[in-house]
Structure 1
Amino acid sequence: MEEIVRINGLQKKFGKFQALHDVSFTVNAGEVVGFIGPNGAGKSTTIRALLGIIKRDAGEAKIFGKDVWKDSLEIHKRISYVPGDVALWGNLTGGEIIDLFIKLHGGGDKAKRDYLIKRFELDPKKKAKGYSKGNRQKVGLIAALSVDSDLYIFDEPTSGLDPLMEVIFQEEVEKFKNTGKAILLSSHILSEVERLADKVVIIRQGKIVETGTLDELRHLTHSTVTLATEGDVSAMASVNGVYDFTQKENQATFSADNQYINDILLEATKLGVKKFESVPPTLEDLFMRHYEG
């Protein structure tokens, strides 16, 4: 796969505060990378460094093989960006602002623009000063999705949108992914990242604490197993790899270490299995693993 974004050992300080410590990850063509972490973890600082808005203190940051600081003008011709709080010109209408953004980028698809305005249910004739936060976000999203870019960077893009509009955004992003576009999605909505992302990067206090596909990361934590047996299910509580065992009549629920699933199954069959359900951890489970406490 073609590498679109490369960040290696990125560091940034604000005074004495170290905002980023050796941040490293990549984004490839046709890939959605979910960049997650709470407020203050370093997501927006990383994105601002990628966009050439702030200068990094150390490390490497490249888009399309070009340096994000030295070659920012060339890079920006091929990217679209939507921040978490879109600022607009109050006396212009939403439609005028979308057209201005598209023109600044260098040309977009008018039919796509009209399709997206209808899809996101935006009134393009209304002045921006009368828009809610959600409608301001729609303006930014419509403008970004109306142009043909090779990389789309979204920083909390659905902030202020209702659940129906979030789904529409997700559907449009999936279309871009299927055409080979690269997408960096920073979001606090874990279900959104779980649906869209091929790879997840978890940042905590300016450091990358986990990176990989969801399947790869799920090996690092436990599945939730529901088991009903003909024999006494309480015997499963002492099996290697079983944690947080709870029992109601002859059905048990417990966490299972994935590397011991085969052993757990073998022991369960000795009791006569009536029901066995194993649910892999969600992205939220993986996320909380790094943030609880």
Structure 2
Amino acid sequence: MTEVVKVEGVQKNFGKAKALSDVTFTIKAGEVVGFIGPNGSGKSTTIRILLGIIKRNAGNAEIFGKDVWKNSLEIHKRISYVPGDVNLWGSLTGGEIIDLFLKLHGGGNKERRDYLIERFELDPKKKAKSYSKGNRQKVGLIAALSVDSDLYIFDEPTSGLDPLMESIFQEEVERLKSAGKSILLSSHILSEVERLADKVVIIRQGEIVETGTLEEMRHLTRSTVEMEADGDVSAMADVAGVFGFEQDGNKATFSAEQQHLNEILLAAGKLDVKKFDSSPPTLEDLFMRHYEG
């Protein structure tokens, strides 16, 4: 697939403080990439560099094969962006602001705009100064989703939205995905990233610490096993690849390393197993592996 976004060894300093030391990842055509990390890890700085708002100190960053700093105006014609805190003109109504955004972008589908206003339950006649944070986010999302862009960049887009609106946003992202659009989704809601992303990029202290599909990343960590048997389950505690073993009568819970699953299953098979459930690690498990301590 064609690389829509290409970031290689990007560095950024603010004075003596190093915000990004080595950021490298790609987004292919039709791919949803989840970009995760805690506050201060460098997510928003990376996104601002991609948008041409700030200049990198080193490395390369391209969108549609063009340098993000030198060709930002041309690139912006083909992208939609929603920040984590949408600032609006207080004296204008939500509807007026959405129309202004669409006009500034140079297009937009008015039928889709009206559909999204209804779907996100936004009152477009109210002045923006009366909007809650959630409603300000809705204005940004409606404007971005009303434009037929090739790349959508969302930086904590559902901040302030209730769970129902979060679900609607996720459905809209799935629609974009099915239409072959490329999406960079930075979100603190890990379940949202897990549901939507084809690939996950984890950033820590300005460096990319892991990149890959969820399935690829799950091979690097342990599954959780819950089992019940007629035999003595304590025998499982000494099997290679078993960690964190806990026993409650004839039931046991433990973590299992992927490369030892065959040995674990063979050992369990000798105990007259009544139940054996293995759950792959969640994105939260993978995320916390990099941030615990």
TM-score (norm 2): 0.99
The residue number in structure 1 matching 2:256 is: 256
* Per-residue deviation, 1:220: 1.1
1:291 alignment counterpart: 291
Deviations 1:44-86 (A, max 9, x none): 0000000000000000000000000000010000000000000
How far residue 2 of structure 1 moved from its aligned partner, in angstroms, is 1.6
Identity %: 80
State the secondary structure of the residue aligned to 1:180: coil
The total of aligned residue pairs comes to 293
Aligned equivalents of 2:161, 2:205: Cα separation in 1 = 27
CA displacement 1:176-201 (0-9 Å, x = unmatched): 01111000000111011000000000
Give the whole-Å Cα distance in 2 for the aligned partners of 1:190 and 1:271: 37
Aligned Cα RMSD in Å?
0.5
Whole-angstrom distance in 2 between the partners of 1:269 and 1:85: 54
In structure 2, C-alpha distance between the alignment counterparts of 1:57 and 1:207, rounded to whole Å: 15
CA–CA distance in 2 between the matches of 1:231 and 1:203?
A: 45
SS at match of 1:256: strand
Q: TM-score, normalised by structure 1?
A: 0.99
Structure 2: distance between partners of 1:291 and 1:232: 36
The 2-side partners of 1:39 and 1:226 are apart by 34
Runs of 4+ in 1 over 2 A off after TM superposition: none
**Residues in 2 aligned to 1:29 and 1:57: alpha-carbon distance in whole angstroms:** 27
Matched residue SS, 2:253 = strand
Pairwise mapping of residues 45-124 of structure 1 onto structure 2 (< 5 A)? 45-124=45-124
The DSSP-based 3-state class of the residue aligned with 2:22 is strand
Could you tell me which amino acid in structure 1 is paired with residue 102 of structure 2?
I
Q: Give 1:23 shift.
A: 0.3
> Which moves more between the two structures, 268-277 or 141-150?
268-277
Q: Which residue of 2 aligns with 1:181?
A: 181
Distance 2:9 2:91 in 1: 43
- Equivalent residue, structure 1, for 2:24: 24
Q: Which amino acid aligns with 1:24?
A: T
Secondary structure in structure 1 of the residue aligned to 2:4: strand
Q: Work out the CA distance in 2 between the residues paired with 1:168 and 1:144.
A: 14
> 2:14 aligns to what?
14
| Separation in structure 2 between the aligned mates of residue 108 and residue 2 of structure 1, nearest angstrom | 25
- Give the C-alpha shift of residue 20 in structure 1: 0.3
Aligned counterparts of 1:262 and 1:17: Cα–Cα separation in 2 = 48
Aligned AA (1:180): G
Shift of 1:229: 1.3
Q: For structure 1, which segment, 267-276 or 137-146, has the greater mean C-alpha deviation from structure 2 after superposition?
A: 267-276
Mapped to 2, the partners of 1:228 and 1:234 lie a distance apart of 11
Residues of 2 paired with 1:139 and 1:74: CA distance? Answer: 24
Deviations for 1:21-56, whole angstroms, at most 9, x for unmatched residues? 110000111111000000000000000000000000
Please report how far the alpha carbon of residue 230 of structure 1 lies from its aligned counterpart in structure 2 after TM superposition. 1.7
Q: 1:224, 1:28 → 2: CA distance?
A: 32
Taking the TM superposition and a 5 Å limit, the aligned residue runs for 1:138-149 are: 138-149=138-149
Structure 1: stretches of 5+ with no match in the other structure: none
Report the Cα distance in structure 2 between the residues aligned to 1:65 and 1:22, rounded to whole angstroms: 20
Which residue number in structure 1 is paired with residue 132 of structure 2?
132
Q: What is the CA-CA distance between 1:101 and the residue it aligns to?
A: 0.3
Deviation at 1:273, TM superposition (A): 1.3
